[in-house]
Structure 1
Amino acid sequence: MIKIRNNNIILYFFLIITLILQIIFMFKNVVFFNYVFINNYIHLFLTVPITLWGYSLIYRITDKKVRYYSFLYVLLLMFWLIAKFCALILPVSIENLIFWYLYYIPLLFNVYLLYEMLRYSSDKLNYKTNYFILIITIILILSVLTNNYHNNVFIIDINYLDKYTYGYIYSIIVIWLIILGILILNYAFRIYKNRNKAPLLFVFLVFILYFIYNRAYVFRINLIFRSDFTITTIIFMVYLLEVFIRINLIPGKYYYSSFFK
């Protein structure tokens, strides 16, 4: 019987399955004829490993406040998967665009939560700065959700809803995410006491690779644009929280996992 508290099997299974699916998405016209079914339902299927991984965090994160943040982090990942499922199965219309806009709640707020967990773990408690960052994040989320009224995040032609460009608020969102990413890495390097910085340098490399992927997707580079942005970003977010627990940047029991099995 698999012990859910030991998340290694769950994590490896999740990564292998999602990697296979990304390959299918990218070469869908060649290797898989039933792509529509897979594309519509895979996001619901992925809520299962995300739930199991989230359940393991309950036992592995020792601090109550950080545990609460991580619980919300996982809920938002599941919310994203469900929103993507709804966006795919519903007909494309101006009213149903809200399901695509909902992606930006977990995209923006989870980056904020990751920043907040590291800030809290570093004991650098500057509440004014924290409130400012939270308010800006919420304003940007609301800007996306109300895009149909101002068209400043995504510039959408109501006659061609699947063809859109990006407005100036989208550029602000990208800049804001870069700023939060820099703050996250800054706290990570401050907290990490081990002289061997290789794990953090690898995290930095993953940040760079994800940024390149993100820009390639936005510019609709053919092979990258065929991949699933939601799945890729969720893998990235799972990886970040998991690795920060494992290298003890976030209070956890990873190094004592044999005791808790």
Structure 2
Amino acid sequence: MGWLSDNINLMALIAAIVILILTMMISSFYIKKMRDSKADGELTDHKWDGISEFANNLPVGWTISFIVLMIWGAWYVFFGYPLNAYSQIGEFNEEVQEYNQKFEEKWKNLSMEDKKKMGEGIFLVKCSQCHGIDASGMGAKAQNLTRWGKYQGIEDTIKHGSAGLNYMVGEMPSIELDVKDSEILAKYIMAEISNAHLKFENFDVKSLKKGKELWDSATCSSCHGDDGKGNAGLAADLTQYGTAEFLKEVLSKGKKGHIGKMPSFEYANFSDVQIEALSAFINSLEPLDD
């Protein structure tokens, strides 16, 4: 009977017993009344198909019950559970928050190499079941994370479109670009739009200019905005693509894939350090073809 040590469980049990007793008493009273009472009394003027109703006052018991229920409801919302009472869920959440604070403090100054190692451990436990041990997506069944967060990931999005993050503008369709232009546009986004600010060999001023032209002509800016920030949430904020912030959004929302919908990982209570570590590991992977 250890479950009775929880105040909420005990209160629910007492309430259930009281409701059961009241139900039996009231049901018995009205069954007896239906059996013994006679159809007499003052009728109202309202009739329906020859049937009238009695002009009875509101039952005193019903009125008292209604008032008591309103008072109890106000107490419950403003003073009782869940705002001001113990619960096992609340205790668990407090313990998780306390643990995460200790975790953040302990690991806040991790080196990049240690972040990659931590991220690899998280990936193997939480991500590899769908994305594969090598993170290649198991033959396009899931996202190829070796390419994700890099210019190759942008190329994949240009070629295949993007779905599943539920932005207000809807799903992004594929864009018809040749291989060379697709690479230039992808590198432009990672070099100039994304906060990652990646550098690429042989990507000179001419390439940047061409990338900007493609950014405008391929209608990227119409959804993501001239600055790439997503027009206040209408589309993805590409300034965060390739960073831990973008990964955090995906982990929070979940995403649609070929083998089903990737669930939200909010239940996992990942700390910012863990998300940064997972992002560091994914970004360190050598891009592989699907």
Q: Pick the TM interval, shorter chain.
A: 0.3 to 0.5
Which has the larger share of helix? 1
Please tell me whether Structure 1 or Structure 2 has the larger radius of gyration of its CA atoms. 2
TM-score by length of 1: 0.33
TM-score by length of 2: 0.31
